[in-house]
Amino acid sequence: MIKSVHNLYSFLGLTPGELDSITSRITENYYQRSRPKIKYGEFQRDDSGNIKYRDLLIPSYLLKSRQQRIARLLSGITLPVYMFGSIKERSNIQNARQHLNHQYFFTLDLKKFFPNINHRQVNMMLCENGFSFSVSRILTQLTTYQASLPQGAPSSPVIANLVFMPTGNRLNELAKMNNIIFTTFLDDLTFSSDHCFKKRIPEIIKIVKQGGFYPAYDKMHYRKGYSEVTGLFVKGDRLELPYSMNKKTRENHHIKSYKEQVRKYNSVRPCLIKHCKKDLRLFEANKKGHRLVTLAPLQNLPTGGL
């Protein structure tokens, strides 16, 4: 990783004066924008029928281009296999697949995931990943806004994953000790098992809080039989689209394409999932041994995600 400020100037393609101009007037390099929340290719609405909006902080072109460079650099850090959100060639479908053939599910959302990550957490993460203190300080200035992670900056998802990783590792260790599968999709945490693990929920919440994150109690669910996991229903050995989405397959070509991706994943029964740079390889057991099945990387819903 980058150790000297001089190398940082070269990496960012900025002179010391240009970099100082950005960091000293960082608030002037953002503007606020509200965008409608989209799910299943349609606007999300509240109980009164009004469209829900997400407040974003959009960086200026100059700052955004540098945040994109930082994001590409940080994407070179290896992330654990339990993470699926905003990671190249991993998707919400693959995330949901990890929980097939389970009977008990616990799903948890992290409240205001990006804004609740502060500049100290970002700076510490950068230092722990090999950046010098001076470089970490500048990178933190370039990727945070008013001491928190801005929702809308291209660098925020990868930084959020890296900041959450120590907490995620603790949750994963707890899960493995209790024969539970654990995955994350940014702020969506999912735990599943073939045995009841309700008594472990207080331990899970305690670890989340100790990491400096805040559970959204109104979006916390413990279910038996089947569960919704990152926009898909996990039912036995299959993934299913929600009824409200499934019935619109004919009229919405984006949903139709998405349904086809889910169907392809349902067509094989993996006993091992490996992620690599070019594709996702699934091993399908049969009478003669193990047959390699290769699927092209499947993407998320192209109309705004879940």
3-state secondary structure 237-276: CEEECCHHHHCCCCCCHHHHHHHHHHHHHHCCCEEEEEEC
DSSP 215: B
Is the predicted pLDDT of residue 281 greater than 80, yes or no? no
Residue 45's pLDDT is what?
A: 83
Polymer length in residues for the chain: 306
Residue 182's pLDDT is what?
A: 98
Residue 155's pLDDT is what?
A: 98
Confidence of residue 246 (pLDDT cuts 50, 70, 90): confident
Mean pLDDT on 178-205:
97
Is the predicted pLDDT of residue 286 greater than 60, yes or no? no
Is the predicted pLDDT of residue 3 greater than 50, yes or no? yes
Confidence of residue 269 (pLDDT cuts 50, 70, 90): low
Is the predicted pLDDT of residue 82 greater than 50, yes or no? yes
Cite the DSSP H helix spans in 61-184: 61-74, 92-97, 119-128, 133-143, 156-177
The 10s digit of each residue's pLDDT in 34-61 is: 888 876 667 888 878 888 888 899 999 9
- Candidates 217, 215, 242; CA nearest to 227 is 242
The more confidently predicted of residues 238 and 286 is 238
Indicate the average pLDDT of the chain. 87
Sequence-distant (≥ 6) Cβ neighbours of residue 286 within 8 angstroms: none
- Candidates 136, 18, 131; CA nearest to 144 is 136
- Rounded to whole angstroms, the Cα distance separating 56 from 47 reads 23
Query: Which run of H or of E encompasses 286?
Result: strand 280-286
Query: 3-state SS of the chain: helix, strand, coil percent to 5?
Result: 40, 25, 35
Residue 41's pLDDT is what?
A: 65
Mean pLDDT on 140-148:
96
- Rounded to whole angstroms, the Cα distance separating 130 from 124 reads 10
Neighbouring C-beta atoms of residue 55, cutoff 10 Å: 11
Is the predicted pLDDT of residue 24 greater than 70, yes or no? yes
Residue 280's pLDDT is what?
A: 39
Mean pLDDT on 239-264:
84
Confidence of residue 103 (pLDDT cuts 50, 70, 90): very high
Residue 293's pLDDT is what?
A: 38
Confidence of residue 131 (pLDDT cuts 50, 70, 90): very high
Query: Torsion over CA of 152, 302, 215 and 45, rounded to 10 degrees?
Result: 90
Q: Are 40 and 244 in contact (CB under 8 A)?
A: yes
